[in-house]
């Protein structure tokens, strides 16, 4: 059943988002911009991919976000033997009713934590495609709607590491943004050693929001105004990636949509009911880079998608707009 949605006052979006960010910072000090991007993706109705080496707190970050909002959370540990039905659910024959009953899988939750998603086979990874794009699951011809809000938080190790499968292009394209936590600075790491040798900070993390509030925030983000010039700027950025000689695969129309949605969320979190070109520009790399595939010449030259995209963004003219053109 679809949950009712009521928009929240625009001036409440920023403080509500900031409470979530500050709460996560209790276990992730010094990572404000990364945390803010994660909350932005949540309010943009997107999905977040966290890529980094083991041990830097990918799973802890995902759990901290999940625990900050009083929503249902399910964790899926992706392994090579995980089956698609282990993710979506399965129909089981009931001898008493002489009929098949659907047993929902862990994807039926508000926050789905996919841990080490690239350690599962491509077939199992593909089980998330319909869930992420259409927010539904189809099993044996029957469609089941997923809850709202619905956010897939997936962690993955770099593909150079042993036992990993590269995510297919279609899978990467469904993630709104990709972030990397990186190593903490010395002060934060020393504080972690002091805090986590006697207790586990996640156990004391308070709930600062709930599903109904998140749905209201999302509804408010939807009402943020976007002028035509900003839409044209989004498309110009995407088109520049498609025509770049350094890229074999550019940004898809879905990528353009995700970029605009996150820009609307960022604008609302800043207290504005309209999107600025600066919102789009700041989010272009985290939203677009993971979808791009460098050409062979760029790979040989050691050029990363992030580097190529940053140069593309710097060359596309920024439009001069007024809020209500």
CA 64 to chain centre: 14
Judge whether 20 and 67 are in contact, CB under 8 Å.
no
Portion of the chain with pLDDT greater than 90, in percent: 51
Return the percentage of the chain with pLDDT > 70, whole number: 94
Higher pLDDT, 291 or 158: 291
State the pLDDT at residue 325.
62
- As a whole number, mean pLDDT of residues 77-86 equals 90
- The mean pLDDT of 255-269, rounded to a whole number, is 97
- DSSP H helices, 57-201, are 58-68, 85-88, 122-125, 129-134, 169-173, 186-196
List all residues 6 or more positions away from 218 whose beta carbon is below 8 Å from its beta carbon: 5, 43, 45, 148, 149
Separation between Cα atoms, residue 316 and residue 313, nearest integer Å? 5
Tell me what pLDDT residue 1 has: 45
pLDDT of residue 123: 83
Tell whether the model's pLDDT for residue 180 goes beyond 50.
yes
**Which residues pair with residue 101 across a beta bridge?**
92
pLDDT tens figures, 100-110: 888 999 999 99
Q: What whole-number distance in Å separates Cα of residue 241 and Cα of residue 246?
A: 9
Helix (H, G, I), strand (E, B) or coil at 25: helix
Residue 54: the pLDDT is 73
- Sign of the CA dihedral with 236 first, then 242, 245, and 246 last: positive
Please say if the pLDDT value at position 91 is more than 90.
Answer: no
- Give CA–CA dist 260/46, Å, rounded: 11
Instruction: Give the Cα separation of 155 and 114 in Å (integer).
Output: 6
Nearest by Cα to 290 from 314, 258, 260: 258
* pTM score of the predicted model: 0.89
Q: Where does the pLDDT of residue 321 fall: very low under 50, low under 70, confident under 90, or very high at 90 and above?
A: confident
CA distance 287 to 272: 21
């Amino acid at each position: 059943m679809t949950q009712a949605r009521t928009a929240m006052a625009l001036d409440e979006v920023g403080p509500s988002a900031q409470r979530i960010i500050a709460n996560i910072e209790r276990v992730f000090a010094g990572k404000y911009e990364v945390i803010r991007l994660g909350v932005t993706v949540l309010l943009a109705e997107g999905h977040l991919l966290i890529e980094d080496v083991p041990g830097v707190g990918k799973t802890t970050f995902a759990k901290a976000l999940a625990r900050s909002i009083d929503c249902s959370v399910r964790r899926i540990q992706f392994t090579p033997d995980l089956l698609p039905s282990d993710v979506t659910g399965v129909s089981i024959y009931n001898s008493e009713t002489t009929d098949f009953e659907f047993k929902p899988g862990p994807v039926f939750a508000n926050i789905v934590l996919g841990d080490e998603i690239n350690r599962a086979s491509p077939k199992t990874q593909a089980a998330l495609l319909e869930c992420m794009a259409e927010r539904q699951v189809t099993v044996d011809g029957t469609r089941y709607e997923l809850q709202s809000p619905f956010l897939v938080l997936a962690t993955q190790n770099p593909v150079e590491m042993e036992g990993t499968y590269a995510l297919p292009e279609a899978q990467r394209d469904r993630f709104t943004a990709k972030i990397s936590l990186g190593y903490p600075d010395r002060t934060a790491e020393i504080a972690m050693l002091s805090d986590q040798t006697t207790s586990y900070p996640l156990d004391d993390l308070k709930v600062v929001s709930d599903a109904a509030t998140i749905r209201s925030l999302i509804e408010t983000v939807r009402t943020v105004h976007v002028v035509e010039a900003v839409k044209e700027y989004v498309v110009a950025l995407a088109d520049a990636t498609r025509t770049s000689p350094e890229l074999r695969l550019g940004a898809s129309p879905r990528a353009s949509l995700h970029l605009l949605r996150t820009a609307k969320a960022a604008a609302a979190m800043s207290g504005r009911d309209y999107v600025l070109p600066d919102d789009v520009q700041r989010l272009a790399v985290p939203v677009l880079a993971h979808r791009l595939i460098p050409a062979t010449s760029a790979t040989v030259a050691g050029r990363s998608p992030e580097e190529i995209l940053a140069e593309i963004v710097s060359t596309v003219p920024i439009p001069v707009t007024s809020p209500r053109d």
